Amino acid sequence: MKRRHFLGATAGAALAITRPQSLFALDPDNRYRKEIGIQLYTLRNEIKNDVNATLKAVADAGYQQVECYGFPNAEPMMKAAADNGLAIRSTHFDWDSVVNPDQKGVKPFSEILEAANKAGLKHLVIPYLADKNRKSLDDYKVLCDRCNKGAEEAKSAGVQLSYHNHSFEFEPMEGGKIGYDTLIERFSPDMHFEVDVFWIQLGGRDPVEMIRQLKGRVSQLHLKDLNKEIKAPAYSGIPKEAFEELGDGVIAMEPIIEAAEEAGVDICHVEQDHSPHPIKSIQQSMKHLKSISLAKR
């Protein structure tokens, strides 16, 4: 048994001793199971072709809510989601409004917050960091200052601001330190993390340990699986085949969602950045989550 799987199994056994059965993370009455979401970037090509049919397929697959992308220019997918009974509490947005606020043509963050309030959103997530903003640890310090300012502004508007990781934040920089350590150290209590477990794993870290380390600071999770042939750590240049449906890769979902409960995570979203058949992929990932739940009953 691989070490990461052994750790996950032993953690699960310990939880079984100390927690009642009804609180297991994948039981049918657990809030993550009942409110499971999906990041719609998974279905970006299908949304371009037929947004209404795509969101209907999401609802038919059993997802209860969606996380949008491209906000504030996300009206068609948000309307289609609402028309199909899907909740919308979170979105990725034009991150330059926080990360590069002085850049010409960038919409002020206050306007994005106003649009978020009108849409009833509770979470805004910085989805990416351009190369120019992550060349050094000093760049990450500047990022933290700007995110902390944005988080304070967002809090006043009743919105939680978070940062979504990839694996490049885990690449060693000056003195062997990584960018993500700077985020952990310098983000204010108002600034949270959206932890993507795939990229954490690819960055050479244990997603369960990371979620526990960030207890109280993780607003949401992205659940996705990593192909067993991909060697970690890898900080860039991975193939599309690296992304797997839940249950087909090396990342065990149950210990992650149990850690999410311990850490006070609000929402879990399935995401698969690349798939030759995205609708089938999201159906398969949902089937995997349900199969784990049934196995525990």
Give residue limits of the domains in the chain.
Answer: 23-296
Encode pLDDT of 62-89 as tens digits: 999 999 999 999 999 999 999 999 999 9
Structure-block tokens of residue 246: 């839940």
The mean predicted confidence, pLDDT, of the chain is 91
- pLDDT for the residue numbered 30: 74
SS3 content of the chain, % helix, strand, coil (to 5): 50, 15, 35
- pLDDT for the residue numbered 15: 37
Report, as an integer, the average pLDDT of 97-121.
98
Q: Would you say residue 266 has pLDDT above 70?
A: yes
Q: Are 80 and 106 in contact (CB under 8 A)?
A: no
Q: Would you say residue 167 has pLDDT above 60?
A: yes
Task: Report d(CA 73, CA 70) in Å as an integer.
Answer: 6
Task: Report d(CA 115, CA 135) in Å as an integer.
Answer: 32
| 260-275: b (≥16 Cβ within 10 Å) or e | bbebebbbbbbbbbeb
Percentage above 70 pLDDT, the chain: 89
Burial (CB < 10 A; 0-12, 13-18, 19+), residue 194, is buried
Q: Would you say residue 292 has pLDDT above 80?
A: no
| 42-64: b (≥16 Cβ within 10 Å) or e | bbeebbeeebeebbbbbbebebb
Q: What is the pTM of this model?
A: 0.90
- The one-letter code for the residue type at 109 is F
273 beta partners: none
- pLDDT for the residue numbered 240: 98
Residue 32 confidence class, pLDDT cut points 50, 70, 90: confident
Task: Report d(CA 147, CA 183) in Å as an integer.
Answer: 10
Residue 188 confidence class, pLDDT cut points 50, 70, 90: very high
CATH of domain 23-296: 3.20.20.150
Q: Are 155 and 190 in contact (CB under 8 A)?
A: yes
Encode pLDDT of 213-265 as tens digits: 999 999 999 999 999 999 999 999 999 999 999 999 999 999 999 999 999 99
- Between 17-21, 127-131, 145-149, 174-178, the lowest mean confidence (pLDDT) is in 17-21
- pLDDT for the residue numbered 31: 81
- pLDDT for the residue numbered 26: 53
Burial (CB < 10 A; 0-12, 13-18, 19+), residue 121, is buried
Q: Which of 125, 142, 248, 140 is nearest to 192 (CA)?
A: 125
Q: Are 223 and 259 in contact (CB under 8 A)?
A: no
- pLDDT for the residue numbered 22: 31
- What is the length of the chain? 297
